[in-house]
Structure 1
Amino acid sequence: MLNKAVFFTFPIPTVSVTRMTAYSRQRWLIIAHAFNMDGRAASQTITDKLPHLSRAGVEVVVLSGVSGEHDAKVEHHQLWPMGPAGFRFELRHVLRRRWGNGLRYRLLMTLASIFLLPWMLLEKLFRPVESSWSWWLSAYLKGRALARQKPFDLIYSTGGAFAAHLAAHALKQATGAPWLAEVHDPLVVPGASPVSRQQKMQAEVERLICTHADIAIWFTEQAVASARQRHPQLAERGKMMVPGIDRPFEELPPYQPSRNFVIGHFGSLSPTRHLGPMVAALELLSDRRRDLVDATQLHVYGGSLDKVSSGLLDSSRVGHCMRYFGRIEADPQTGLSGRDQILHRMRSVDVLLLLHGEDAICSEYIPSKLYEYLWMQRPILAIVHRNPQMASLIRGQGHWVVCWAEDGVGSAAVSRELAGALEQLFDRWQAGGLADNGQMSPLTTEAAVTQLLGWVNELRAKQGKPRSIEKSIL
């Protein structure tokens, strides 16, 4: 078992920021390929920061791709990528958002694909990396033009897509403006040497960040430590920040238990993050606790089911417990975004299930969904893979953690421990219900922005510039 006190070893501002004022207004260029995209973690991480930056007196200019909604509250430039694969990818999302998946969409995409195919084959031959790579040039050219009109005090790249960091590096070289890079998921898989062109490109982007960024932020302690070990030149410019989210409801919607014991999973699935552990645990319980299995419903929200989950559920005797709801889109009748609807549905389940994954990158990665879960005040049952920081964080808030591959724990032991946790939670639910824990999450976007502004002020002080953002913290 991990010591709960470990939860407090990484920096989380616990003070309340009651006022932020600016006495010398800063102008920041934010480069984020995914921006204002409903339900996308890469979007939420930056869009949620903007109100706090605005209150701190920061003038924000945003460069993004075209797949999200245009933001009328800030200066927002949506840019198409230069490469054919990226253009086709963005076109697909734009047309689907406007027309749906009907005949008009399919006809135009077929024509576009035929026209772009020769160029896509050439691109794949010479640059076999993620389709959004060429967006960096669009962002660089636009950022350079904007900087000529009025200089920027900070270039802030965030992602997500590594193209944002490539653009920011080029703009720093061209303009001399300080560069803050925010890395969401680790760019290099722990313990592995880059082999593919994609992996080598990501490793090169990490090298550029560690060498040239004035502030480089990762979201876990281990991710910073690994980057610093690969690139000692990073030194103290490498920072760890828990992104968090702000309180999603002024008043929590009431939790109403149903006739069934509902376990909710929210988020994407993959061959390395699948429902296998839950299926195995329910199968273990199907003989001795038939009452539990008959009453249990596993509600799954997000993208399509992965092949591992689908195969297991098709052949399992507990497959009837599964209820698949897919991705929830914006509702034009209620005006609720997909994200808003998901937050309400999180409040309606008895237990929130968090699947971390099984691959090496999990040691340096915390699913952003956790920060939403912590605000729901519902019990969280998490399967965590080689990530003491994540396990300690969840336990520190009084929730349930099953550790995968910790001290040699394998899949069979995980299934047994998970079955035991389900049994205890079910018995509590059956006896008197699983009440809200009443805890407010300390992991907020406001706290993250407070850290970020502090680092920017320290940077300006080292560069001999006046502190341009004053934080009054009571």
Structure 2
Amino acid sequence: MSNPRKVLMISYLFPPIGGGGVQRALKMAKYLPQYGWQVHVLTVDSPAHVSLDHSLLQQLPEGTMVHRASERGVGKGSNIPGGKADFVSSQDRQLSSNKHPGSNKGWKKEFIRIAKPYLKKAKEGLLIPDDQILWYSDAVKKGLDVIYSHDIDVIFSTSGPYTNHLVGLALKNKTGKPWIADFRDPWTQNMHQSDIPWKKWIEETMERRVMNTSDVVLTVTPSFARNFKKKHPGIKNLQVIYNGFDPEDYDKITPIDTRGLFTASYAGIFYKERNPRLFLEAVYELIQEGLVDRKHLSCKFAGVFDYPGYSENYDCVKQLGLEDVVEVLGHLPHHEVLSLLKGSNLLLLIGDTAPGSGDYIPGKLFEYMAIGNPILALTVPGESERIIREYGLGEVVNPFSQKEIKQAYLRMYQLWVNGNGYGETERSFKKDINIYNRKYQAEQLAEVMETLI
């Protein structure tokens, strides 16, 4: 058998970091070897992250090399064979357990609370394009070492964070190797883009260099691709490889015991433009109107319910008196999230409402698709709405309309009460869903890389 091609995958977000942001890089690393590519991952050493999930490392096949570069240039980094999942897990668990309980108590906690908004604004203006720029210097050094010592054929950087692409740009310029820049979200066209003028100018310059220098630009929706091409006509080769789901993640899932309750679940992160408060108010009104029985209801939220430093969502639960209905689970390992979703009667998709958010497809939509339970989507018209309607995955409502939310939730609740499953006759998988299969997407990436060497 011929020697495999070698790709350097630049991804700051990578296990043991957990959450939706790691899935694209992780699944590409898992499946690319089946198409003749050995994967070398360049990621961060000693990750300090809100979500850690060491179990994800077990998905990496033998021969995968994970090269870890230090943030702020501190430390030597490490080279971890991805197939040695036990070794990776034990080392990284030790790193993640070095916490100091009690360090934020008393006056320190109050000081942090007061200073946090000012520090956040200062950090936003200093760390460009994102916090992970502190990783840039050591990542470039480590990347050069990997490219030359392992005879890398192709560089692949995937964002966010966008610092990944600056590392890719530097390595491209220094080595001349073919480079693919993969955008899971837009950069300067992002709906959460900074409003600091001079920062925006710097990032526009960075983005233009990335777009015009990379040999291939990949992204995850046709809308993103159209916007990229319109803004950067100098892009050499622009292609779409969707996000998706890994069928193997859904084998032998044991659904949670919902104790006979009508259970609606959400897995993901909430923030200002994406929050559950109108949904909670809709459920509250249905209870008050006697249309649903609160003793039969359960709403479960896994992930980040309130962003650090904020409490609006939990305050809403208390104000509405829904503590007996709402359960905030915090971060869960991925397999536990899937068990939660599989056991739920209703999967909540609460989308962003900022201008342009219709161009986005949240990664959880594909997980929901694979789970197969009905979706209640609070989302603006756009890519997500199209997929849900096209495949008969559930109901889509106006995220600003409490009336529509109430009506859709009540319809699904009544079907459950009457013992009728939702969507058995409405779902249609006549259309090929293979484009959302992670293994097929790795095959697509392998074909793109083959054209560059």
Q: Indicate the TM-score class for this superposition, using the shorter chain for normalisation.
A: 0.7 to 0.9
CA distance in 1 between partners of 2:373 and 2:218 (Å) = 30
Cα displacement (A) at 1:288: 3.4
Cα displacement (A) at 1:200: 4.1
User: How has the CA–CA distance of structure 1 residues 199 and 348 changed in structure 2, closer, same or farther, with 3 Å as cutoff?
Assistant: farther
Structure 1 position 51 matched with structure 2 position 19: no
CA distance in 1 between partners of 2:132 and 2:192 (Å) = 24
Q: In 1, are the aligned partners of 2:38 and 2:63 still within 8 Å (CA)?
A: no
Of the three residues 366, 380, 385, the one matched with 1:385 is 380
Q: In 2, are the aligned partners of 1:301 and 1:324 still within 8 Å (CA)?
A: yes
Of the three residues 384, 395, 419, the one matched with 1:432 is 419
Q: In 2, are the aligned partners of 1:186 and 1:365 still within 8 Å (CA)?
A: no
Amino acid at match of 2:101: G
SS in 1 for 2:287: helix
CA distance in 1 between partners of 2:191 and 2:262 (Å) = 40
Q: In 2, are the aligned partners of 1:189 and 1:360 still within 8 Å (CA)?
A: no
Structure 1 position 79 matched with structure 2 position 51: no
User: How has the CA–CA distance of structure 1 residues 232 and 404 changed in structure 2, closer, same or farther, with 3 Å as cutoff?
Assistant: farther
Q: In 2, are the aligned partners of 1:282 and 1:318 still within 8 Å (CA)?
A: no
What is the 5 A alignment of 1:1-400? Answer: 23=2, 25-66=4-45, 67=47, 73-82=63-72, 97-102=96-101, 127-129=126-128, 130-189=130-189, 195-196=195-196, 199-234=200-235, 237-247=237-247, 248-253=249-254, 258-306=259-307, 307-316=311-320, 318=322, 320-328=324-332, 338-387=333-382, 389-400=383-394
CA distance in 1 between partners of 2:95 and 2:328 (Å) = 22
User: How has the CA–CA distance of structure 1 residues 322 and 138 changed in structure 2, closer, same or farther, with 3 Å as cutoff?
Assistant: same
Q: In 2, are the aligned partners of 1:99 and 1:105 still within 8 Å (CA)?
A: no
SS in 2 for 1:313: helix
Q: In 1, are the aligned partners of 2:300 and 2:328 still within 8 Å (CA)?
A: yes
SS in 2 for 1:300: strand
Cα displacement (A) at 1:399: 2.1
CA distance in 2 between partners of 1:211 and 1:262 (Å) = 48
Cα displacement (A) at 1:262: 0.9
SS in 2 for 1:28: strand
For 1:422, the equivalent position in structure 2 comes to: 409
Cα displacement (A) at 1:277: 2.3
How does the TM-score come out when normalised to structure 2?
A: 0.79
For 1:445, the equivalent position in structure 2 comes to: 438
CA distance in 2 between partners of 1:125 and 1:372 (Å) = 32
Q: Which consecutive unaligned segments of at least 5 residues does structure 1 have?
A: 1-21, 88-92, 114-119, 329-337, 406-410, 466-474
> RCO (CA 8 Å, sep 6+): is it higher in 1 or 2?
1
User: How has the CA–CA distance of structure 1 residues 453 and 432 changed in structure 2, closer, same or farther, with 3 Å as cutoff?
Assistant: same
Amino acid at match of 1:52: Y
Cα displacement (A) at 1:174: 0.9
How does the TM-score come out when normalised to structure 1?
A: 0.76
Amino acid at match of 2:289: R
Cα displacement (A) at 1:431: 0.6
Aligned residues: 403
Amino acid at match of 2:98: W
CA distance in 2 between partners of 1:125 and 1:278 (Å) = 31
Q: Which consecutive unaligned segments of at least 5 residues does structure 2 have?
A: 78-91, 113-118
Q: In 2, are the aligned partners of 1:210 and 1:234 still within 8 Å (CA)?
A: yes
Q: In 2, are the aligned partners of 1:157 and 1:168 still within 8 Å (CA)?
A: yes
Cα displacement (A) at 1:182: 1.0
- Greater shift in the superposed pair: 74-83 or 414-423: 74-83
Q: In 2, are the aligned partners of 1:384 and 1:401 still within 8 Å (CA)?
A: no
SS in 1 for 2:304: coil
Q: In 1, are the aligned partners of 2:157 and 2:165 still within 8 Å (CA)?
A: yes
